[in-house]
């Protein structure tokens, strides 16, 4: 996606976010139709290929080893296990499989070699392959690209200011660096954030601005609603109001009109009516 020459200001994006709801949805739908077929929605499936035991302290994540959650720690899945899961997802309509591993960063070891084999396994099924494995070096990103990864997911999570309230084990700049390493390859970028963590509207809007200023912009921008999990520091966060998700998706569509805005975590907790307003 082309980098916009006209940079967004925080005041301008917040003004959009706070528009009367139906006016906001209408404007977003109008902009969306200039660049996308409104009748097309890509279905993607997220598969955790290595679950639990992550050394980081992301306050929202039940896979962090330091939190006592019901997440069962599992070793890296085998190619046959992934192939079975991918075929099931494809049969249900998914054209993209995103494989996630609970790592802080990728290491050049046997497990990374196995991930490359998983990528080749899914590629053989004629599905787009997305990976989210933590931080990457430039050489690791190139190996993933060579194996056939179509997109790499690495979220900014929130604004740089609020980010410090939820994570201390990985800096905001570390995330930007990983995105830069991915951009040096043929892989596309999937990067967005989470709402409902206690952040302000200004943080949500600033995150969108930061994403829009990446050059080029991420091809995909997932908007996630916090799924509060017992045992994490955010277990008592109130559920994200459906109107907040609708506003966030609509604002993202206006700020980055050429990009694919993805309704991600928390979607299954939304009513069909709420999802419909996001997809208009």
Residues marked active site are found at 54, 58, 61, 98, 130, 190, 262
CB 78 within 8 A of CB 111: no
CB 244 within 8 A of CB 203: no
Query: Cα–Cα distance between 137 and 151 in angstroms, integer?
Result: 16
* Phi, psi (deg, nearest 5) at residue 112: -65, -40
In the chain, where do the E strands start and end? Answer: 44-50, 96-101, 128-132, 151-153, 188-190, 193-195, 220-225, 260-263
Beta bridge mates, 98: 46, 130
For the chain, give the longest Cα–Cα distance.
Answer: 53
Nearest residue to 90 via CA among 148, 151, 44? 44
Beta bridge mates, 261: 221
Query: Cα–Cα distance between 153 and 97 in angstroms, integer?
Result: 11
CB-based contacts of 50, cutoff 8 Å, min separation 6: 74, 75, 76, 77, 100, 101, 102, 103, 111
Count CA atoms closer than 13 A to 256's CA, side-chain side: 30
């Amino acid at each position: 996606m082309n980098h916009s020459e006209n940079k967004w200001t925080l005041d301008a994006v917040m003004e959009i976010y706070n528009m009367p709801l139906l006016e906001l949805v209408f404007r977003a739908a109008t902009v969306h139709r200039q660049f996308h077929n409104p009748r097309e929605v890509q279905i993607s499936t997220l598969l955790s290929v290595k679950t639990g035991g992550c050394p980081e302290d992301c306050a929202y994540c039940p896979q962090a080893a330091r939190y006592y959650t019901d997440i069962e720690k599992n070793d890296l899945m085998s190619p046959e296990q992934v192939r079975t899961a991918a075929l099931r997802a494809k049969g249900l309509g998914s054209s993209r499989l995103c494989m996630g591993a609970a790592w802080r960063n990728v290491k050049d070891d046997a497990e990374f070699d196995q991930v490359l084999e998983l990528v080749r396994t899914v590629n053989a099924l004629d599905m787009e392959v997305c990976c989210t494995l933590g931080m990457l070096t430039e050489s690791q990103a190139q190996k993933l690209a060579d194996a056939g990864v179509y997109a790499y997911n690495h979220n900014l999570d929130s604004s740089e200011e609020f980010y410090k309230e939820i994570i201390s084990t990985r800096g905001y700049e570390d995330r930007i660096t990983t995105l830069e390493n991915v951009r040096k390859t043929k892989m596309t970028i999937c990067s967005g954030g989470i709402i409902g963590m206690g952040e302000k509207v200004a943080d949500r809007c600033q995150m969108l601005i930061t994403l829009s200023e990446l050059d080029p912009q991420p091809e995909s921008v997932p908007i996630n609603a916090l799924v509060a999990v017992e045992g994490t520091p955010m277990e008592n966060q109130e559920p994200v109001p459906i109107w907040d998700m609708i506003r966030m998706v609509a604002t993202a569509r206006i700020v980055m009109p050429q990009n694919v805005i993805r309704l991600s975590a928390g979607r299954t907790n939304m009513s069909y009516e709420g999802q419909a307003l996001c997809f208009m």
